[in-house]
Amino acid sequence: MKIGYWLAAAAGCAPCCNALSISRAKSITRSNFIQSTASVIFFSDIVGSSPACAADKDKNPRYIESEVQMKYGDDSKGNPRTRGVLVRRFTGDSTPYSFPRSPVSLVKEWPESAPFTQKDFFRADEGDDENFYTLPRLVYHIDEPAVASLTQYYRDNIKPGSSILDICSSWVSHYPLEFKDNMKRISATGMNPLELMANDQLTDYEARNLNVNPTLPYEDNSFDVVTCVVSIDYLIKPIEILKEVRRVLKPGGKVIISQSNRCFPSKAISMWLNMNDRQHLELINGYLQYAGFGKAQAYDITASVPGERFNDPMFIVEVTK
């Protein structure tokens, strides 16, 4: 069984990545059923198909809209059928937002040994994460202003020619559009192989459940930057994973962890749910220190939206190896 991915532009259609092989499992679960019946996914860019996409040719469009088609049962025993959906990608550019940045003081003094207990990492839904994330979610989990603020932060703080790793990644990494061309490498790990397949900024990827296997499949000193977007609250072994992040970072490399205030409550760890935004930043700083990093820097990069008082906050915790 193979799953293919194509990105069709106005000039034609070209393969974007290698086909992904998924073996059929012996036992039938929701996850196995979906993985064994989905056979082909097609993505086609629709640029300029709506007024919001119309931008000056020298500027990036605000949105890129794509048609996604999933074809099921495409084998000798199946009953082929196709389902399609339109998805909209936020580029982070050509918006009416402004992007103030304010430093946030990290003041909590962490003890020498990590004070966390197993109860701190309890989740309301302790079921198989792979089942929970089986269906690709081609949606955003933060609003457009939060995405745009993160995109602009990346543009200002990641140098061209860098090798980047995005952990807990999905169908978008929120990088500026030009990163695909001016970065040396963009790798990713994430839960859902179909979402990673749809992420056209990636050079390579590997689907991996870091809650089960908290290791990164890369050599020491491989990356200049590691990013993690609104996902550290789901990790039940965050210190182990951040030790791996430190291992794969080059000397002088940095990790950029971004966080908002949205989550799947059933999958977020219990102590996270009992904290406010400021406490979340202190907790991430504690994780980083126990993973061997020095003290981090934190920033509030929440976008300013004309006429809107309530939009998703966006925070950064950043530290250099």
Span 293-319, pLDDT tens digits:
999 999 999 999 998 888 999 999 999
Q: Supply the pLDDT for residue 72.
A: 61
Of 142-146, 266-270, 300-304, the least confident: 266-270
User: Is residue 47's pLDDT more than 60?
Assistant: no
Phi then psi dihedrals of residue 194, to 5 deg: -70, -40
Q: Supply the pLDDT for residue 257.
A: 98
Overall average pLDDT of the 178-202 stretch: 93
Q: Supply the pLDDT for residue 220.
A: 98
**Contact partners, residue 26, CB within 8 Å, separation at least 6:** none
Confidence of residue 87 (pLDDT cuts 50, 70, 90): confident
Q: Supply the pLDDT for residue 94.
A: 95
Bridge-partner residues for 286, per DSSP? none
Confidence of residue 128 (pLDDT cuts 50, 70, 90): confident
Percentage of the chain beyond pLDDT 90 is 61
C-alpha span between 188 and 166 (Å, rounded): 5
Whether residue 200 contacts residue 230, with contact meaning beta carbons closer than 8 Å, is answered with no
Q: Supply the pLDDT for residue 32.
A: 47
Helical residues (DSSP H) of 6-132, grouped into ranges = 30-37, 129-132
Q: Supply the pLDDT for residue 150.
A: 98
Nearest to 140 by CA among 317, 273, 312: 312
Q: Supply the pLDDT for residue 202.
A: 97
Confidence of residue 18 (pLDDT cuts 50, 70, 90): very low
Confidence of residue 197 (pLDDT cuts 50, 70, 90): confident
pLDDT digits (tens, 9 = 90+) for 215-265: 999 999 999 999 999 999 989 999 999 999 999 999 999 999 999 998 878
- How is the chain split among helix, strand and coil, in percent rounded to 5? 25, 30, 50
User: Is residue 57's pLDDT more than 60?
Assistant: no
C-alpha span between 231 and 228 (Å, rounded): 6
C-alpha span between 29 and 141 (Å, rounded): 26
Pairing relationship of beta strands 81-90 and 63-72 according to DSSP bridges: antiparallel
Higher-scoring residue by pLDDT: 138, 44: 138
The residue type of 306 is P
**pTM for this model (two decimals):** 0.81
Q: Supply the pLDDT for residue 129.
A: 74
Mean pLDDT score across all residues of the chain: 82
